[in-house]
Chains A and B, each alone.
Chain A
Amino acid sequence: DTAVSQTPKYLVTQMGNDKSIKCEQNLGHDTMYWYKQDSKKFLKIMFSYNNKELIINETVPNRFSPKSPDKAHLNLHINSLELGDSAVYFCASSRRGGGRSDEQYFGPGTRLTVT
């Protein structure tokens, strides 16, 4: 019973294309995130989103945009893909509040390769 799922698992595309990665969580969480993990394994927050606010890491190019059709989904759209966008992208979710609910649950990741 998958808690946070992402599709596709692998994505190979050419420079200049536009692509999307989908994320869904069935945990009833109200906050979702996107992270980028580069080839050196650095994990970097890109976005934090709940139904009230979007927080954007200022270093993220505006070619990247999150879109949330509902509370359980946060998709990542990338325009005009560049070679440097190649990485593993992880979606995560959490519930606001104290206690164990601080935990962020990660999806399985999407390995994006731009050629």
Chain B
Amino acid sequence: GENVEQHPSTLSVQEGDSAVIKCTYSDSASNYFPWYKQELGKRPQLIIDIRSNVGEKKDQRIAVTLNKTAKHFSLHITETQPEDSAVYFCAARNAGNMLTFGGGTRLMVKP
């Protein structure tokens, strides 16, 4: 089955700096890669996603890149703000429409 690894597990940045979270996946048939943000005690919410036929996607301060050959994808957050503090999960979807999540990254943005 699919295996998704996510790094780092914790990330602390100063407000205004950029944050980068990286994920690798194992199943070359995976074709959809969403990123979810989960605030403390809340549900995971989709913040950006990318499909396997696209290399990069941007939405305001967040962007995701995908390297299909190397089977890795990354989340980039620029101009971080304290409200960006949360746990971020990457995921990969296989042909069976099942999402396999990475282990999560706890992002802390210090004001």
Partners in one complex: yes
Known: A41-B104, A103-B34. A48 touches B96 (CB 8 A): yes
Minimum Cβ distance to chain A for residue B49 (Å): 7
Residues of A with C-beta under 8 A to B43:
90, 106-109
The total of Cβ contacts below 8 Å across the A-B interface reads 49
Residues of A with C-beta under 8 A to B103:
40-42
- Asked if A104 is at the interface (CB within 8 A of a chain B CB), the reply is yes
Prevailing SS type, chain B contact patch:
strand
Instruction: A42 to B90: give the CA distance in the assembly, Å.
Output: 11
The interface size bin for chain B is: 20 to 34
Residues of B with C-beta under 8 A to A40:
103
Residues of A with C-beta under 8 A to B97:
31, 48, 55, 94, 96
Size of A's binding interface in residues, CB under 8 A: 22
Residues of B in contact with A (beta carbons under 8 Å apart): 1, 32, 34, 38, 42-46, 49, 51, 87, 89, 93, 96-101, 103-104
Among all A-B residue pairs, the 3 with the closest Cβ atoms: A106-B43, A43-B101, A41-B104
